[in-house]
Amino acid sequence: NNVLSNFFIFLNLNLLKMPSISSYKVENFFSFLFLFFLLPINGQSLNSSLKKKLDLADQYRLKEHFFDAKKTLDSEILKYKNQNFELAYLYSYTSRLYLHEDSLVQANRYAIKSVECSQKSKNNLAIAVALYAKASYEVVVNSPDEAMKNAKKGLELLEKSSNDLTTKYLLSYRLYGIYGGWNDVEKMQYYIRKCEEISKKDQNNNFLANAYNGISSAFVVDFYKTKNKKSADSSLVYLEKSYELFKKNPTKINDGTLSVTLINLANYYMEFSNLPLHESKEKAFFYLNILETKFAQKKVSSDVMASSMGIKSDFAMKEKNNTVAKDYLFQGIKILDEDVKGNFETRLLLYKSLESLFE
C-alpha cells in the first residue's frame, strides 16, 4: 500500500495548522479537517460597519494578504479600543489570523485578550467567540481536552441566549473535528448534523457544503473502523450533495470548500470505487482537472494541487506505470517547493510515496 492512500479524504488545505502528525493511518488525519479558515466569524449582533471590516479582512486572508488583513483589524481595534464586545471579536479573529501564520505566541496572546474583553462585556456571544479562539489555539498546541471543554462551554452559552448561527456553526464544527481526532463516530455525527441543521436554518450554502463534506468524512472514518462498504458509499452521496450545491450556487461556495469536495470525490474513485479502473480514473480526473484550472487561476492552494498529483500518481501505480507515477509525484513536490507555505505533511507523504517506487 502506498503511503498516500487514504490521506486525501482528510486533506487539510493547510488551513487548520494542526500539530505535526506521528502516523500515516487515516484515523490521525481527521483532526486536519478543513473548516477553520474557510468561514468568516461575523455574528449577527455586530454592527454593520464592523461586519464589513471583518469581511474585508477575511477577503485579504483568503488571498494570503496577511499584512492587509492585520492592518484592517488593527485599525478597527483602535476604533473600538474602549468597547469590550467588539474587541472580543476583533482579538478573536486576530488570534486565528496568527494561527494561520504559525505565530503561536501571538495567537495565544490575542486569544487571552479576547477572553478578557469578553468577560468584561458580560455578553454571552462575546464570551463564546473568545472561547472559540481559545479552543482553536488549544487544538493547534495539541490540547484537545481543553479545546473540547471550551468549545462546549461556548456552545452552551449560545444555546441559552443567542441566535448567532455563525458562531454556533463554528463551535459545533470545532467539536466535530475534536471528536474526529478521537475516532468517536457517534459524537462526530452528532455535531456535524448540528452543522447541517444550522446551515439550512441560516440558508448558507457554503456552510452546508462544508457540512456535507464533513458528513462524508465521518462515514469514511466509520468505514475504516467497521469495514462496512455502505459507509464508504454514503460518503460519496454527501460529496455529490456538496458538489451539486456548487453547481447550483457557484458564487455561494468558496474555493476552499470546493477544493475539499473535488479532492475527496477524486479520492473516492481512486480508493473505493467498484467501477473498472479506466472508468474510475475518468471520473477522478474530471474533478482533478477542475482543480488544475482553479490552481492556474490562483484560487487553489499548492497543497491541494500537490495532492491532486498524488492521486494521479496512485492511478498510475494501479496501472503498473511507475514512470508516470514518479512524474506526477515529482510535479507535486515541485509545486510545493515553489511555495514557501507548502504543507510539510503533504510534502512528506509525497516523498514517502516516491521512496516506495524506488524500493
Q: Which long-range contacts (CB under 8 A, 24 or more apart) does 76-79 make?
A: 76/50
Calculated CA dihedral for residues 340, 341, 344, 349, nearest 10 degrees: -90
Q: How far is it between the farthest Cα atoms of the chain? A: 66
pLDDT per residue as tens digits for the range 59-118: 787 677 889 999 999 999 999 999 999 999 999 999 989 988 889 999 999 999 999 999
* Dihedral sign (CA 319, 243, 334, 25): negative
Residue that the C-alpha cell 511507475 belongs to:
322
Residue 114: what pLDDT? Answer: 97
Q: Which residues contact 122 (CB under 8 A, 6 or more apart)?
A: none
Q: List the grid coordinates of 338.
A: 515553489
Q: List the grid coordinates of 152.
A: 462546549
CB neighbour class for 155 (10 Å; exposed up to 12, middle 13-18, buried from 19): buried
What Å distances lie between residue 272 and 5, 318, 342, CA to CA?
A: 11, 13, 28
Distance between CA 247 and CA 244 in Å, rounded? 5
**The amino acid at 320:** K
Distance between CA 339 and CA 342 in Å, rounded? 5
Q: Give, as one character, the DSSP assignment of residue 21.
A: P
Q: Are 145 and 28 in contact (CB under 8 A)?
A: no
End-to-end CA distance of the chain: 13
Q: Give, as one character, the DSSP assignment of residue 275.
A: S
Distance between CA 267 and CA 312 in Å, rounded? 10
List the chain residues with pLDDT less than 50.
Answer: 1-44
Q: Which residues contact 166 (CB under 8 A, 6 or more apart)?
A: 39, 40, 41, 42, 43, 44, 202
Q: List the grid coordinates of 36.
A: 477553520
Q: Helices 229-248 & 205-226, crossing angle to 10 degrees?
A: 170
Q: Are 325 and 357 in contact (CB under 8 A)?
A: yes
Supply the DSSP string of 119-132, one letter for each residue. HHHT-HHHHHHHHH
Q: Which of 208, 236, 231, 230 is nearest to 219 (CA)?
A: 231
- For 320, phi then psi, to 5°, come to 65, 30
Residue 161: what pLDDT? Answer: 64
The three-state secondary structure class of 39 is coil
Distance between CA 43 and CA 165 in Å, rounded? 7
Residue 132: what pLDDT? Answer: 96
